[in-house]
Amino acid sequence: MLGRRDFLKLSLASFITLVAPSREIFARVNFSEGSATKGIIFLVGDGWPLGVMKVMTEFMTMKFKEESNLSILLRNLNTRVLLQNTSSLSSVVTDSAPASVAWATGSKTVNRSLSSLPDGRKLTTIFELARQKGIAYGFVTTTRVTHATPAAWYSHNPNRDDEDNIALDLLNSNVMVAMGGGDRHFNGTIRKDRRDLYGMFREKGFRVVRTREELVASLNDENPILGIFASSHMSYFVDRVNDKRLRESEPSLPEMTAVALQKLSKNKKGFILQIEAGRIDHACHSNDMYGAMMDCYELDKTLAVILEFMEKNPNVLLIVTSDHGNSGYGINGTGPEYNDSTEALLSYNNKASFEYMKRLMRGQDAKNIRDIFENYTGQKISLEEAEEIYRKLNEKKTVVINDIWYEPDYTMGRILAKSVYKYENENLFKPAIERRGNVGFTSTNHTAEDQIVIIYGEQIPQMRVKSHIDNTELFQIICNYLRIYHINPKMKKEEAIAFIKSITKEEWKKHLELHIA
């Protein structure tokens, strides 16, 4: 019978089979025994509903013939599973910024804001508190490094969309590691103010890397590292697996995590590493079932790296969680007595994300759109369905109906989940006239359900943790573990409502264009 360490090696081996260039990074990364005094690893699946986790574990079991690392972690006696409330100060449905602020500061703020209250008071973040104690800190993400989830831990900007200035906050944050996408906010030829932030980071002693090859070359560098591997967000994992150019140029989340842990754990006073599988959220917004599932698979392989590190460094506490739900992602029962459900689920076999397909579809007629869709999804569709995709791709949005912001993404997700059954005399008949997938969505927006929190470490049996918490309480768990004491100011919801009413329609319109469109 395989031990856990043996399984982790096999888990990473299966990942390397998909992403062959990663073999070089994993071969050269070395996790020292007991290198860190204490550490926090905070793994975020952004917009990661339980439905995505369920789909991933079923695909891993039935199609990939693997057991998920999440399943192994959940069975461990040193694991606690909690639920957290995610509401923000301004809404029962949060966006990523105040959700991450809650973890980083222990205080709630309004949607759109980073670590500050609506009245302008700044909230001291866990990174800033770590700096005072000599603890090393950093983050890796598959989004832009200036995006809401990592930015809330180092920036006090009241507007999460002000990413050019948030990049300057990162420059002054004293992080040891920052890796992800976002060239547009660092490149002097693209930034509106033409400031060369890469040069400014180098002047501060950072090793700046832009490709996987440069990341490999930096492995033995003692300097802090800024890794920017894409113009905007990094590519979806399904696209990196299937596009050789992307696979060879962009490192994976497990690779970035391995490099970050090697670097941060050398600090004898301890470390904090935030890791974000950020594009699960984007795929859910797009109702892209397979894209979300594959980015969750990448998160699961990142967990293999973390658990291997923790085998050698038991003084580390792992927190795995999500900031909010997204779009009502869920497996729907289908067919008589729901017995077509498994077959329908396993019919998904996409070779690209909707994002990737849309780039190819632009400028094409309906017939070519049908060919592209069928090639990358393996599903035959009618010309009428292709024409609907064409219309949604090209029409100018003048109204939003039923909170469907993302098109033609929503249409493509609905088409992939189509079923037609004969129904007579209150009976449903097999076989289906037409049967595709069965993952459905309620909208293209965030949702309000409580989110799972998984806490793992050898110290768990001694920890007193409630089974249902507010997201702000994770800040206190981190502080207690690192022996940090700090209480940030709070604001009441009534005070926040007055602030929201003061925001002009023009400001909200700009926010929606930047964040949602």
Question: Nearest Cα to 173, choosing from 195, 213, 200?
Answer: 200
pLDDT at position 43 is 98
- Provide the 8-state DSSP code for 178: E
Calpha distance 496→505 (Å, rounded) = 17
Of 440, 473, 507, at which residue does a domain stop? 440
Q: Which of 96, 100, 113, 155 is catalytic?
A: 96
Least confident of 11-20, 238-247, 306-315: 11-20
324 known ligand binder: yes
Q: Are residues 208 and 314 in the same domain?
A: yes
Question: Of 79-93, 266-280, 387-401, 452-466, which gets the smallest average pLDDT?
Answer: 452-466
pLDDT at 64 over 50: yes
Residue 408 is assigned to a structural domain of this protein: yes
Q: What are the tokens at 508? A: 């909200």
**Does a structural domain hold residue 29?**
no
- Are 42 and 183 found together in one domain? yes
- The answer to whether residue 297 scores a pLDDT higher than 90 is yes
Q: Does 451 lie in the same domain as 433?
A: no
Do 279 and 421 reside in the same domain of the chain?
no
- The pLDDT of residue 513 is 55
On whether residue 4 sits in a domain, the answer given is no
Residues 76, 171 within the same domain: yes
pLDDT at position 433 is 95
Question: Which CATH number do you get for residue 471?
Answer: 3.40.720.10
Is residue 336 domain-shared with residue 424, that is, in the same domain?
yes
Give the pLDDT confidence of 345-384 residue by residue, as tens digits. Answer: 999 999 999 999 999 999 999 999 999 999 999 999 999 9
Residue length, the chain? Answer: 517
Give SS3 for 181.
strand
% of residues, the chain, pLDDT over 70: 94
pLDDT at 355 (0 to 100) = 98
- State the burial class of residue 24 (Cβ atoms within 10 Å of its Cβ: 0-12, 13-18, 19+): middle
Report residue 368 as tokens.
């070519």
Region 237-251: mean pLDDT is: 95
Residues 495 and 416 in one domain: no
Q: pLDDT at residue 1 above 50? A: no
- Does 234 map to a domain? yes
Residues 114-139 pLDDT 10s: 999 988 899 999 999 999 999 999 99
Percentage of the chain beyond pLDDT 90 is 83
Query: Average of pLDDT values for 156-165?
Result: 95
pLDDT digits (tens, 9 = 90+) for 465-475: 899 999 999 99
Please indicate, yes or no, whether residues 137 and 101 belong to a single structural domain of this protein: yes
- Final residue belonging to a domain, choices 440, 463, 490: 440
Check pLDDT > 70 for residue 328. Answer: yes
Whether 501 and 372 share a structural domain: no
- Average pLDDT of the residues in 235-255: 95
Does any domain span residue 108?
A: yes
Sign of CA dihedral 320, 324, 326, 330: positive
DSSP 61-108: HHTS----HHHHHHH-TTEEEEEEE---SS-SS--HHHHHHHHHHS--
Q: Assess whether pLDDT exceeds 60 at residue 210.
A: yes
Taking the alpha carbons at both ends of the chain, their separation in whole angstroms is 50
Is 285 annotated to bind ligand? yes
Q: Is residue 126 a part of any domain in this protein?
A: yes
pLDDT above 80 for 146 = yes
CA distance 35 to 314: 10
Instruction: Name which residue leads in pLDDT, 244 or 516.
Output: 244
HSE-up (13 A, CA, CB side) for residue 494: 0
Is the pLDDT at 36 greater than 80? The verdict is no
The pLDDT value given to residue 510: 62
Two structure tokens written together for 64: 């990939």
Determine the pLDDT at residue 19: 80
pLDDT higher than 60, residue 2: no
Residue partners of 222: CB distance under 8 A and separation at least 6: none
**Number of C-beta neighbours around residue 499 at 10 A:** 18
- Which H/E stretch holds residue 391? helix 383-394
Last residue within a domain, chosen from 393, 418, 440: 440
Burial of 448 (0-12, 13-18, 19+ CB in 10 A): middle
- 467: annotated active-site residue: no
Q: Which has more pLDDT, 459 or 194? A: 194
Residue 358 confidence (pLDDT): 98
Residue 371 counted as an annotated binding residue: no
Residue 296 is part of which domain span? 37-328+445-515
Is residue 72 one of the residues assigned to a domain? yes
Give the per-residue pLDDT at 463: 85
Label residue 35 by pLDDT band (50, 70, 90): low
Q: How far is CA 273 from CA 111, 262, 306, 320, 322, in A?
A: 24, 11, 11, 12, 16
Give strand pairing partners of 432: none
Separation of alpha carbons 219 and 217, rounded Å: 6
233 is in an annotated binding site: no
Mean pLDDT taken over the chain: 93
Nearest Cα residue to 348 out of 412, 303, 304: 412
- C-alpha distances out from residue 117 to 130, 157, 474, 502, Å: 21, 10, 19, 14
Q: How far is CA 133 from CA 215, 225, 292, 488, in A?
A: 29, 21, 38, 17
Confidence at 517, pLDDT banded by 50, 70, 90: very low
Q: Which of 255, 216, 212, 254 has the alpha carbon at shortest distance from 230?
A: 212
What is the reported pLDDT for 506? 65
pLDDT of residue 495: 81
Same domain, 364 and 310: no
Per-residue buried b or exposed e for 303-314, using 16+ beta carbons within 10 Å of the residue's own CB: bbbbbbbbebbe
Per the annotation, does 156 bind a ligand? no
The DSSP letter of residue 247 is: H
Average pLDDT over residues 177-205: 97
Do 340 and 323 lie in one domain? The reply is no
Q: What angle do CA 307, 216, 185 make, to 5 degrees?
A: 95
Average pLDDT (139-152) is 98
Instruction: Let me know whether 465 and 449 are in one domain.
Output: yes
Instruction: Report residue 54: phi and psi, to 5°.
Output: -65, -45
Residue 37 predicted with pLDDT over 70: yes
Number of folded domains that form the chain: 2
Q: Does the residue 429 lie in any domain?
A: yes
Is 282 marked within a binding site? Answer: no
pLDDT in tens, 276-295: 999 999 999 999 999 999 99
On whether 446 is known to bind a ligand per the annotation, the reply is yes
